[in-house]
Amino acid sequence: MDIHLRAQNLFSIRDQMNKRIDPLSEAVTGKDIQALILKPLINLVPYIGPTLNECFFEIPNRIQQERLKKTVEMLTLRVNRIDSKKIDKGYLQSEDFFDFSKDVFEKSLKIKIENKRRTLVNVYIDSILQKADFEESRLKLFLDFIVQLSPFQMSLLKFIGNRKKELLEIGSYNKFFDLCQKITNGKIDQYEFKYYSLDMENKGLISCGSGLSDYNSQGALLALSSYKPPSVMITDFGYQFLAYLDEDEKNKL
C-alpha cells in the first residue's frame, strides 16, 4: 500500500467516524468510540495490523467468556454439594454477598490455571457459608492472594507444610534453595526464589524467624551458645490459606 493510498484511507476513516459517532449520544460509550477509531487505524499497520486488532479487540472477549464459563461450571458443581439449609438466604441479599461476588468474578477473568480457579471458588463458597463481612474478613485477602501468588509459590507453600523437620533451623537461603530443588525444576534461580520467599513472608504466610543468611554470605556470626539458626515455617495465617489449597486437592471437581 503506497503512501497516497494510505492517506486516502485515513481521510476516509475520519469521514466515516464523523458520520457514525455522535459524542453526545447516550447510546455510544467511550469504549465504543475508542474501538471504532482505533480498529481501522491499527488495521493500517503493515503486516501485523490485523493480528494486533485481533489481540486487542477479539481475543480478550473470547478468553474472558471462556474463563467466566469455567468459573460458573465449577461453582455450579460445588454448590450442588452443599446442603441448601446451610445457606442463609438473607445473606444472599446483603451488600457483602454482592461485594464478594463482584470481586470473585472480576478476579476469575485474571485466572487461567484450573487449580487457582478451583481455590477461588472454594474461598467464595466459604464466604457464603460464613456470611463473611467483605471489608473485615481475611477471605478478602485470600482472594487477593490467589491472583497475586504464582503457581510456584502455591507449590512452595505446600512443600514447606510437608517439610517441617527439614526446615527447622535451616539457617540460610542456600540450604533453603537446595532443599526446594525438587519443585524449582531448574526454572527458578536463587534470587527469583528469594523474591518469592520474601513476598510470601511479607504476606504473612510464612516466617523465617530472624531472617535467613543471604547467599554466599561471608559474615561471621558471634552468638551466644543458646543461639539457634532461623527456621522456615508456615504461620497460623498461612495454614488457614493453605487449607483452601488442600481442599483443592481433596475435592477435585
pTM of the model: 0.75
3-state secondary structure of 184: helix
pLDDT at 24: 39
pLDDT at 2: 53
Domain ranges, ordered by start, for the chain: 45-147, 150-250
Q: How far apart are CA 228 and CA 231, in angstroms?
A: 9
Q: How far apart are CA 228 and CA 217, in angstroms?
A: 17
Pairing of strands 233-234, 206-207: antiparallel
Q: What is the CATH architecture assignment of 150-250?
A: Orthogonal Bundle (1.10)
66 to each of 60, 63, 109, 148, how far by Cα in Å?
10, 5, 9, 21
How do the pLDDT tens digits run along the chain, 253 residues long? 454 554 454 445 445 444 444 443 445 555 566 666 667 766 666 766 677 667 666 777 888 889 989 999 999 998 988 888 899 989 999 999 999 999 999 999 999 999 999 999 999 999 999 999 999 999 999 999 999 999 999 999 999 999 999 999 999 999 999 999 989 888 999 999 999 999 999 999 999 988 899 887 765 454 555 568 899 999 999 999 999 986 644 454 4
Which helix H or strand E contains 183, and what residues bound it? helix 181-184
pLDDT at 30: 58
Are the beta carbons of 53 and 59 closer than 8 angstroms? no
Are the beta carbons of 123 and 143 closer than 8 angstroms? yes
List all residues 6 or more positions away from 8 whose beta carbon is below 8 Å from its beta carbon: none
pLDDT at 11: 45
**Could you give the angle at the alpha carbon of 121 between the alpha carbons of 161 and 135, nearest 5°?**
90
pLDDT at 32: 62
CA 50 to the chain's CA centroid = 30
Shortest CA distance to 189 belongs to which of 167, 173, 168? Answer: 173
pLDDT at 193: 96
pLDDT at 61: 81
pLDDT at 251: 52
